[in-house]
Amino acid sequence: MFKVQGLKPLHGKIKVQGAKNAVLPMMAVSLLTEGRTEIRNVPRISDVFLMAEILRDLGCQVMFQDDVLEIDASGLSGTVISEKTVGKMRSSSLLLGPLLSRAGEVTTWYPGGCVIGKRPIDFHLDVLRAMGAEILDDGGMLIAKAKKLCGTTFRFPYPSVGATENALMAAALASGTTKLLNCAREPEIMELCSFLRSMGAKISGERTGTITVDGVEKLFPTDHVTAGDRICAGTYLAAAAAAGGEIEITGVDPVVLVEPLKALRKMGAGIRISGATGPKARIGMVMERRPAGVEIDTGPYPGFPTDLQSVFLAVEAAGSGESRFKETVYEARFEAAMRLAAFGADVSLHKDTAIIRGRYPLVPGIAETPDLRGGAALLVAALAADGLSVISDSGHLKRGYEDIGRDLRKLGADIEEDEL
């Protein structure tokens, strides 16, 4: 439970953690090789702990010390990802491609819907079928088998991040050439391609959305430093936009934050990128006014990330104008928007669009986190509320933020946490 005393401007510097959505597929891909793969700058979040547990269940050795993860899949012995695990972490579906490729078989279950939408895995299954997998599917359990995956040409109906990742991992050791069209172009896809290339995979074209993978006989262990988490960086910038103040973020390449930074500038924030280019850059932000209204459509990268929609919406709840957020990636990602009513926010929903009329200050509220990013949104709203807000969380935030309370405190927020 978080107790947040609002209306304290944020000041200070913070280095963001490594990217959750880059680490999870790299952990899955380590199944494709024998020997010790080392991944550094790994965030200590529950999704990573859970993926490590799944890999151990499958017979891999996994060590996780500080921010260094070592995975050795030489002893891979299992092919079942339990229903219980799938229920806890949807991204366990990322193991389908690599397990099928390495062991020729996978038994798992449908992940089911979640609070942000239905989240089916039909594209994952279709691309694996196109590569020769036989998939028995009774709508609950899934049994996939393939003696040897074969190269194919496949167009994704939508540039799904997870399905693109699964296809890449399956294609790396498939026989022949795989051509993937309409692929996702998120930075995490770029990182997975570099990671696979460093293991010996032959991949090209990822920046264009059409990826060609020439299957190789064998992949080798590698080591890698994970990029900074663009969604964590965006969350902390949003926190400072709501609370006001001046902060500096390091550890993330500003290039992957083009749309969120554009939105912050429109709100009236002063943004300054300094120091080196790339991940060594420093992103400075000053916010000396109430955020002006913005119009944001979420979309696949390079569009505005859906994972920052609720957090930016919370900023505008305490803004000075009217904003419109259109959610195009998920069909039901407005749970947090609805919960902002607990802080007196004026939000109305019209199908895929939320209209927010900013009011400041917000009133202190009591609310429960609906999901990972929605939880962060409630904290952001609490920073702009005149008094003590209480936000309870049943573990959503730890899935993606190492310690969001610690980080916001470091920036000067008045946040206490207790176990209740």
Contact positions toward ligand EPU, by CB under 6 A? 20-21, 24, 91, 117-124, 158, 160-163, 184, 188, 306-307, 329-330, 372-373, 400
Nearest distance from residue 244's CB to ligand EPU, in Å? 26
Which residue, judged by CB position, is nearest to ligand EPU in the bound state? Answer: 162
Query: Least separation, in Å, of the C-beta of 98 and ligand EPU?
Result: 14
Q: Which residue, 248 or 307, has its beta carbon nearer to ligand EPU?
A: 307
* Residue 142 or 269 having the CB closest to ligand EPU: 142
Residue that the structure tokens 């039901």 belong to: 332
Task: Write down the least CB distance from residue 92 to ligand EPU, Å.
Answer: 10
Shortest spacing between CB 333 and ligand EPU, in angstroms: 8
Query: Closest CB to ligand EPU among 135 and 292?
Result: 135
Indicate which residues carry an active-site annotation: 114
- Among residues 51 and 240, whose Cβ is nearest to ligand EPU? 51
**Distance of closest approach, residue 383 Cβ to ligand EPU, in angstroms:** 20
